[in-house]
Amino acid sequence: MTDIVHWVDGAALTGSPTGWADVTNPATGRVTGRVALASEADATHVIAAAARASRGWGTTSLARRTQVMFAFRELLNARKDELATIITAEHGKVHSDAMGEISRGLEVVEFACGISHLLKGGHSEEASTGIDVHSKRVPLGVVGIISPFNFPAMVPMWFFPIAIAAGNAVVLKPSEKDPSAANWIAALWQEAGLPDGVFNVLHGDKTAVDALLTSPDVQAISFVGSTPIAEYVYETASRHGKRVQALGGAKNHMVVLPDADLDLAADSAVNAGYGSAGERCMAISVLVAVDPIGDELVARIADRTRTLLIGDGGRGATGEDASGKEADMGPLVTKAHRDRVSSFIDSGEAAGAKVVVDGRDVAARGGEGGFWLGPTLFDDVTPDMDIYREEIFGPVLSVVRVGSYDEAVALVNANEYGNGTAVFTNDGGAARRFEADVTVGMIGVNVPVPVPVAYYSFGGWKRSLFGDTHAHGTEGVHFFTRGKVVTTRWIDPANRPEGGLELGFPRND
């Protein structure tokens, strides 16, 4: 049993918690630690430390800040296996998948290593007679990052590398379900030479979140989580004068047109539907099969689904079989979540959807008390069913059959979410039309999980994102800085301004 406590000013702090939350290993069901739930006083203490540190860090040279970024990148790359092990032990995703999320986070660190170029402003000489104008982007001060359980390393890394490189101090409030990754990252920053207080971790629940949303010392909030909480965070933090980007839930549709490569489509549906046990905001949860390929596609997906190995995703023990083969899919994050997802399968069956592959009685290679649920495939799902309407966030893939491209697009666009979608086709014209027609932020063409690379920005539309700024890329740089424009006149003896009183509005000439 370990106690997981806050990290502030470069050291662990227990503070005066309102309580402690159990942290479990989902593959065994055993409690492995407990995490401190911050009181308001703890939050105030952490935010104050960040505010103090932000002053020195915001004026540290770009050269020095960049050196720290490179050092962090090197350390993280060298030791990512350790971090992946921590993620698997608390989240449950298999080790290779945890390594994958770290490598996508590393991309953002690498992007932020180029911060000097990204922060360059503009300069206009002689904008008006004897007048020059230049612009610059300066750090905000303290920024709060509130992250979900499903990517304990990658999601915080969508934000903090850019926030820190740009000269801000960070308070990260990770999910209480898998909090240890954040502390490991904090210690790594210290090793990389980041001054104490620039990266802090505040553990907790609503009390900690509310403190960040309302503190006058916090300038911006980056949130990722479920839609109701994203909406609450957006409204509350905006009301308290902060800039906010709040990324919410999803229901991602993969449309398969009749001319698609069905083997590629079936592989992609299985990978994107069941990878990380469906606990990805970019997971495919609805497959839209356009007539007449439905029967053939469902058969190919079902065949592949039945071959998946469900088990402990950790290294050693039960984590790998004698041949060293890792499980394809791990357990769900908590017992409560497993039971919720399982009850969705009951409800889909009761509503008349056809259960093609049933994950409820899965034989998993792992602890008896693990939160196991196998991959489940539904066919003949209709838009009125709960399993279609709700974000299940588990290994449940629903196939909806439609008669035409237009029907498929109408379905995608009628959905309240607009995070990701994909089209599978060999027709370039149809793909191009799809890209224009759908009201979704991230689109894949024969790519089922179209998470943009770090130098583009990640974000959905509709109820998948509140605010107007997406994560990372140049939008991220914009989010974590604010602009200044300076208009300058220097007295040049050869070209003195006329002077004199002139109360009219300044003109350009």
Closest separation in Å from C-beta 310 to ligand NAD = 21
SS3 category, 387: helix
Q: Pick one of 28, 54, 88, 150: the residue that binds ligand NAD (CB under 6 A).
A: 150
User: What is the size of the binding site for ligand NAD (CB under 6 A)?
Assistant: 27
* Site residues (CB under 6 A) for ligand NAD, limited to 92-121: none
Q: Pick one of 185, 194, 269, 281: the residue that binds ligand NAD (CB under 6 A).
A: 281
Any contact of residue 231 with ligand NAD (CB under 6 A)? no
Q: Pick one of 51, 224, 298, 399: the residue that binds ligand NAD (CB under 6 A).
A: 224
Any contact of residue 173 with ligand NAD (CB under 6 A)? yes
Tokens standing for 275?
């990878």
Q: Are 419 and 464 in contact (CB under 8 A)?
A: yes
Any contact of residue 460 with ligand NAD (CB under 6 A)? yes
Any contact of residue 242 with ligand NAD (CB under 6 A)? no
Looking at 61-69, 149-157, 407-415, 499-507, which segment touches ligand NAD (CB under 6 A)? 149-157
Nearer to ligand NAD, 304 or 472 (CB): 472
Looking at 81-89, 172-180, 376-384, 434-442, which segment touches ligand NAD (CB under 6 A)? 172-180
Any contact of residue 168 with ligand NAD (CB under 6 A)? no
Quick note: the x/- pattern for ligand NAD over 328-367, rule CB under 6 A, is: ----------------------------------------
Active site residue 113: no
Helices (H), 216-334: 227-239, 262-274, 294-306
CA 494/CA 509 separation, integer angstroms = 18
CA 299/CA 362 separation, integer angstroms = 20
Angle between helices 154-165 and 95-112 (to 10 degrees): 20
Cα atoms found within 13 Å of the Cα of residue 404, Cβ hemisphere only: 3
Nearer to ligand NAD, 344 or 405 (CB): 344
SS3 category, 496: coil
Looking at 147-155, 300-308, 339-347, 433-441, which segment touches ligand NAD (CB under 6 A)? 147-155
| Amino acid code (one letter) for 229 | I
Looking at 168-176, 300-308, 348-356, 440-448, which segment touches ligand NAD (CB under 6 A)? 168-176
Residues comprising the chain, all counted? 509
| Region label for 314, one of left (φ > 0), alpha (ψ between -120 and 50) or beta (otherwise) | beta
Helices (H), 275-403: 294-306, 335-350, 386-389
Any contact of residue 89 with ligand NAD (CB under 6 A)? no
CA 431/CA 457 separation, integer angstroms = 21
Quick note: the x/- pattern for ligand NAD over 380-409, rule CB under 6 A, is: -----------x-x----------------
Closest separation in Å from C-beta 442 to ligand NAD = 9
CA 77/CA 102 separation, integer angstroms = 9
What residue is closest to ligand NAD based on CB? Answer: 225
Nearer to ligand NAD, 213 or 265 (CB): 213
One-character DSSP codes across 42-102: HHHHHHHHHHHHHHHHHTS-HHHHHHHHHHHHHHHHHHHHHHHHHHHHHH---HHHHHHHH
Any contact of residue 247 with ligand NAD (CB under 6 A)? yes
Q: Are 201 and 184 in contact (CB under 8 A)?
A: no
CA 300/CA 239 separation, integer angstroms = 51
Catalytic residue among 84, 281, 293, 333: 281
Catalytic machinery residues = 281
Residues making contact with ligand NAD (CB under 6 A): 146-151, 155, 173, 175-176, 205-206, 209, 224-226, 229, 247-250, 281, 391, 393, 419, 460, 464
